[in-house]
Amino acid sequence: MRFSTLLTAAVATGSAAAASGRMGFALGNKRSDASCKEASDYVADFAAIAKETTARIVRIYAASDCDVAKLILPIAKQAGFQVVLGIWPDTDESFKSDKAAVVEYAPKFKDQVYAITVGSEAMYRGNFTGEQLAAKIRDVKSAVGSGFKVGTADSWNKYADGTADAIVGAADILLCNAFSYWQGQTLANATGSFYDDIFQVFGRIQERAGGTDRVELWVGETGWPTDGDIYQRAQPGVTEADTFYHRAVCGMVDWGFNVFYFEAFDEEWKPHAVGEDGSIADETSWGAMTTDRKPKYSLKC
C-alpha cells in the first residue's frame, strides 16, 4: 500500500483525520418503478437510515430532477439530516435547471445544505476537462453566494492522473469515488485496493492545495453489490458486501475519514452498467438496504 507523505503525516498528527469520520449515503430520487419520489418517500428514507445507521447526511445528484431539492430539504430539517446537493453540468439545460434549484432552495435551508457538488464523474466520462469543470464550480459559487461549500465528485483515477489538478484551487470540497469491485478485485484485495486509491488521491490533492486543511475531502462513493454477475474477479453477494462494508468502509470511518456509501437503497429501475472492460454488470443491487428499506446486513460500524 502506497501512502502519500503529506497524508501520512496528517494522519499521525490528527490534522487530516478526526477521532471518527462521518458516514453518509448516496440517495436516489426515484422509486423502484422509475417514478419520482414524493415527500413521503424521503420521510421513510431518512427514518430507515436513522434507524439502521449512525449516518445523518446524504448526497443527491441533480437538484431539479424530480424536484428533489424542493422536497428533500424541508424533510431533512425535520429529520435532523444534512444534504449534499448535486448539480448535473453535462448539458446546458441540466446545469441551468439544477443551478436555479440550488440558488432558490439552498439559502432557505442553509443548515441542511452541507455542500454543493457540480458534476459526478464528469471528468471520468470525458465530458469536461479539469479547467472547464473548475469554471463551472466558480460559476456556481458566484451564483449561490457565500456560506456554501462548492466542489465536485469524480473517480479517484482522475484525481490521481492530474486531470483534476485545475479544480483544486476552485473547490472547497472534493469527493473521490473508488470502487474495488469495478477494479475487478477479489474480496481479499478489496480493502487494501480501496485504501491505496484513497490515500494516493488525498495525498495528491493536499500537495496541490499546499496543506491538509485547504480543501475538505470525502470518499464520494464506494460500495459492493449484493447480487449480479461476477465482474472480472469481483464476486457480488451479501456476505461480500457485508465484509467490504465493515472492513473497508467502517475501517476508513474509524480512521477519521468521511465516507459516502453507494448506496442507501437498491434501485431496481436502473439499466445495466458497463465496466471499463466492456462487460455488462447489474447496477440494481448496490443498496445497503432493499427497496422496501430493509437492511441486508448490520449497518452499524
The residues that are catalytic are 121, 221
Cβ neighbours of residue 241 closer than 8 Å, sequence gap 6 or more: 223, 224, 225, 226, 288, 296, 297
Helix pair angle (92-105, 130-144), 10° resolution: 30
Angle 139-141-147 (CA atoms, 0-180°, nearest 5)? 170
Q: Is 287 within 8 Å of 51 (Cβ atoms)? A: no
Q: Is 98 within 8 Å of 62 (Cβ atoms)? A: yes
Q: What values do phi and psi take at 220, rounded to 5?
A: -80, -35
Residue from 44, 54, 129 nearest 89 by CA: 129
Q: What values do phi and psi take at 234, rounded to 5?
A: -90, 120
Cell numbers linked to 54: 449512525
d(CA 259, CA 219): 5
Strand, coil or helix: what is 186? coil
Residue from 261, 260, 217, 243 nearest 11 by CA: 217
Q: Is 281 within 8 Å of 273 (Cβ atoms)? A: yes
CB atoms within 10 A of CB 84: 25
d(CA 5, CA 10): 9
